[in-house]
Chains A and B, each alone.
Chain A
């Protein structure tokens, strides 16, 4: 078994990507994820990979588009304002059905905001952000170990469906240090073969054309319907979540990522006070595990969504609970991380 090593969050994700077979990275510095860009600049040459610091996030995402269209595993990372700039490219990449992995280490917004951890990019990450009917597979890890595993998964899922995937982390996860067990290096020869569609030169075959576009609205509609079929399969097969002490819970706290991790402490504190609390932690934020959460609506009396935002995921929780039980919300924003005590106090008020 591999040994556990102490690493920083951003570097853990970078190393996980390299081990998953990513050999091209394009990015642009922005706090709190610049260490990931720096890490890739050190590591890529060591594995015969490509590191290029783009002139902007707009350029970075388009370099990703070009590199991904050749069938290689590619990644970029950024933080909120940078991910906003990438949205044009995200939409094109989704339309062109290119397997690409994005990392957004979210910081406080809107606008320039600050450099503290936040979860206020949830809408942008899970509901679009770019134009058109498209979807990204979105993962919200709670720890570095999970981030490492989800990064590898993100590459596989992106390849499997020819669809971009996004690791939605936050500044806390990016900056913390934790022991991590890395998977072995993927043998590049075992990566999925993309030669049936990738742009590698039309030697002895018909040329491959990759676009997100058709000028004929009926053809474009057909393309969109094809994307939707794919999204349906992703919804069926790729939902991930964790339940913690939900078996007998009256109150279900719903939280993801760093907030999900903090929420475990809150569940334990509440139980010490005699409140039967449990945690539902979505791991895929799209596809959202609506059905699993809906099941708990038969049993629990109250849902309590906690976020490092003014309430974005709470809308998905309400969709799942579908009016059966009350859904309450508590959140801090602007980069403020709620403490277990303040969340617990709010919970005690509610019951």
Chain B
């Protein structure tokens, strides 16, 4: 008897078991990125830069050449790689602590240079890895271990909107904000990720997809409620949509 494989995991994933908590969106986004890499046929020339944060192991989860950058510096590391290997595809995968706090300068300048790299930005409004401290993306009033009375505008400032900020830079070729808490969002997000890679492959410039994500563990709510909480609280603060698209429609 012979079997036909009808469904298998993407080749761009190594098959190593994810280390993420139940209900965490990191895993979903990994899978989408891997599927895009497969579909674009770029696995053998992709170089990945993992961040510091819960996805620090991402370099192990993807079956591509990979490294881990110091906290926040992934866009600079990716810049060095891309300048050395312009024919390769380079992407960074970063959390909000990584990209919007310690690494704000690096992401801003890489985007502004129109660096031909792709960034996957996971905005879960909190620091996951270190145990639930406040992120620059934490919502006003939201309690974290370092904003135990709720984030206040006077003391900690406002939630930072990276997609809007970066969309003003001419070097950006593709920029979208999305979410993956519903099946239709997952399909949309995959298309966006593909475009962010195409922006690089077509030599148009910097591409980024910001994914609003859950951190059930540090939000202290079960996964299903976390998806609802994201919908009700994060989406109003962080408008979804395509902010920049110089890639054009797929043929």
- Measured CB to CB, the residues of A under 8 A from B are 24, 26, 50, 52, 54-56, 58-60, 62-70, 72, 74, 88-89, 92, 96, 199-204, 207-213
> How far is B71's CA from A213's CA once the two chains are assembled, in angstroms?
13
User: Does B64 lie at the interface of the complex (its beta carbon under 8 Å from any beta carbon of A)?
Assistant: yes
Interface residues of B in 74-110 (CB under 8 A from A): 76-85, 88, 105-106, 109
Contact B80 A65 (CB under 8 A): yes
- Measured CB to CB, the residues of B under 8 A from A are 14, 43-47, 49, 56, 59-60, 62-70, 73, 76-85, 88, 105-106, 109
Contact B44 A52 (CB under 8 A): no
Contact A74 B80 (CB under 8 A): yes
Contact A62 B81 (CB under 8 A): no
Contacts A209-B60, A212-B68; A66 near B49 (Cβ below 8 A): yes
CB distance from A215 to the nearest CB of B (A): 8
> How far is B84's CA from A74's CA once the two chains are assembled, in angstroms?
9
CB distance from A207 to the nearest CB of B (A): 5
Contact B76 A62 (CB under 8 A): yes
Contact A67 B84 (CB under 8 A): yes
CB distance from B58 to the nearest CB of A (A): 11
Contact A50 B79 (CB under 8 A): no
- The interface residues of chain A lying within 8 Å CB-to-CB of B84 are 24, 50, 66-67, 70, 72, 74
Give the 7 A-B CB pairs with smallest separation, nearest first.
A66-B80, A62-B76, A63-B80, A67-B80, A201-B45, A66-B77, A199-B65
> How far is B43's CA from A72's CA once the two chains are assembled, in angstroms?
21
What is the total of A-B residue contacts with beta carbons within 8 Å? 126
A and B contact pairs by CB, cutoff 8 A, 18 listed: A24-B80, A50-B83, A54-B109, A58-B73, A59-B76, A59-B105, A66-B69, A66-B79, A74-B84, A89-B70, A200-B85, A201-B64, A202-B64, A203-B44, A207-B65, A208-B66, A210-B66, A212-B68
> How far is B77's CA from A211's CA once the two chains are assembled, in angstroms?
12
- The interface residues of chain A lying within 8 Å CB-to-CB of B106 are 55, 58-59, 62
Pick from B45, B60, B64, B78: contact of A66, CB under 8 Å: B78
- The interface residues of chain B lying within 8 Å CB-to-CB of A55 are 105-106, 109
Contact B77 A65 (CB under 8 A): yes
CB distance from A307 to the nearest CB of B (A): 32
- The interface residues of chain B lying within 8 Å CB-to-CB of A66 are 49, 67, 69, 76-84
CB distance from A53 to the nearest CB of B (A): 10
> How far is B64's CA from A56's CA once the two chains are assembled, in angstroms?
29
**Which chain B residue has the least Cβ–Cβ distance from A67?**
B80
> How far is B183's CA from A159's CA once the two chains are assembled, in angstroms?
49
Contact A209 B67 (CB under 8 A): yes
- The interface residues of chain B lying within 8 Å CB-to-CB of A72 are 84
- The interface residues of chain B lying within 8 Å CB-to-CB of A59 are 73, 76, 79, 105-106, 109
**Which chain A residue has the least Cβ–Cβ distance from B80?**
A66
> How far is B43's CA from A58's CA once the two chains are assembled, in angstroms?
30
Pick from B44, B46, B76: contact of A63, CB under 8 Å: B76
CB distance from A252 to the nearest CB of B (A): 42
- The interface residues of chain A lying within 8 Å CB-to-CB of B81 are 66-67, 69-70, 199
> How far is B65's CA from A72's CA once the two chains are assembled, in angstroms?
16
Q: Give 19 A-B pairs besides A24-B80, A201-B64 with Cβ atoms closer than 8 angstroms.
A: A50-B83, A52-B79, A52-B83, A55-B109, A58-B105, A66-B76, A66-B80, A66-B82, A67-B80, A70-B47, A88-B70, A96-B67, A199-B85, A201-B85, A203-B44, A207-B66, A209-B59, A209-B66, A210-B66
> How far is B79's CA from A54's CA once the two chains are assembled, in angstroms?
10
Pick from A56, A65, A68, A199: contact of B69, CB under 8 Å: A65
- The interface residues of chain B lying within 8 Å CB-to-CB of A88 are 70, 73
Contact A58 B44 (CB under 8 A): no
CB distance from A85 to the nearest CB of B (A): 12
> How far is B56's CA from A67's CA once the two chains are assembled, in angstroms?
20
Contact A200 B80 (CB under 8 A): no
- The interface residues of chain A lying within 8 Å CB-to-CB of B66 are 199, 207-210
> How far is B79's CA from A24's CA once the two chains are assembled, in angstroms?
12
- The interface residues of chain A lying within 8 Å CB-to-CB of B59 are 209, 211
Contact B80 A199 (CB under 8 A): no
Contact B63 A202 (CB under 8 A): yes
